[in-house]
Amino acid sequence: MATSAAPTFFPPYQLDTAHTTDEGYYALVDGGVFANNPSSLAMMEAMISYKRKTEEELHRKDTLVVSLGTGSLTKKYKYRDVKNWGQIKWALPLLNVVLDGNSESVAFQLQQLMVTKGDKENNRNYYRFQLQLSSDNGHDKIDNASPSNIDHLEERGEKLIEHSKKDLDELCKLLKEDTELYPN
């Protein structure tokens, strides 16, 4: 419930807790508000947990990160349209810009960081699958659950798979090799 509690769309989720809080609960909202692309946090958590468990460092070459995005915004704002916007007018667009910018920044950083042998593309261990959402006809709106938009998103997903065939095949090969090396 908390992961879909996007502010302004759904109320926060109240989770009772035995931990010491003044209220006795946490009010939880969508994690995308904090980390719209949590890949770097997941990598950091894996490194910390591994070290805690083994007292050794987890190396990048020993990891594989697969990140599945929910769509990147493409809406552009023209200077003449936004130059006189105040706080109210900027509220939702600014949130979108910040969340999408953060997501793209994390993806770029991991794309650069997770190459383990030189800079050859086939020596990477980070895969990001993300499609661009068009602002035409409201396809980029989080609350557009219309049948036509669902159809549009399915079509975009199929195009993403088609466009990413090489990467998906490479990823499947890596996963298969890993399963053969470590069957459990």
49-70 pLDDT, tens digit each:
999 999 999 988 888 999 999 8
Q: What is the pLDDT of residues 94-132, one digit of tens each?
A: 877 887 888 889 999 998 888 765 555 557 789 999 988
**Terminal Cα distance for the chain, rounded:** 32
What is the rounded CA–CA span in Å between residue 16 and residue 82? 42
Residue 153 to residues 103, 138, 150, Cα–Cα distance (Å): 19, 11, 5
Q: What confidence category does residue 29 fall into, taking pLDDT thresholds of 50, 70 and 90? A: very high
As to burial, measured by CB atoms within 10 angstroms (0-12 exposed, 13-18 middle, 19+ buried), residue 180 is exposed
Report which secondary-structure segment, H or E, holds 46: helix 39-54
pLDDT at 120: 52
Residue 9 to residues 34, 144, 154, 168, Cα–Cα distance (Å): 16, 11, 23, 34
- Interacting residues of 10 by C-beta distance below 8 A, sequence separation 6+: 4
Q: What confidence category does residue 39 fall into, taking pLDDT thresholds of 50, 70 and 90? A: very high
Q: What is the pTM of this model?
A: 0.78
Residue ranges of the chain that CATH labels 3.40.1090.10 = 35-181
Of residues 120 and 151, more confidently modeled: 151
Residue 41 to residues 22, 84, 107, 155, 161, Cα–Cα distance (Å): 28, 37, 12, 30, 26
What is the rounded CA–CA span in Å between residue 2 and residue 12? 7
Q: What confidence category does residue 142 fall into, taking pLDDT thresholds of 50, 70 and 90? A: confident
Mean pLDDT of 136-157: 84
Of residues 116 and 145, more confidently modeled: 145
What is the rounded CA–CA span in Å between residue 109 and residue 102? 11
Of residues 42 and 122, more confidently modeled: 42
Q: Is the pLDDT of residue 178 over 80?
A: no
Domain 35-181 classification at class level: alpha beta
pLDDT at 85: 93
* Spatial CA neighbour of 110 closest among 40, 35, 38, 37: 40
pLDDT at 3: 82
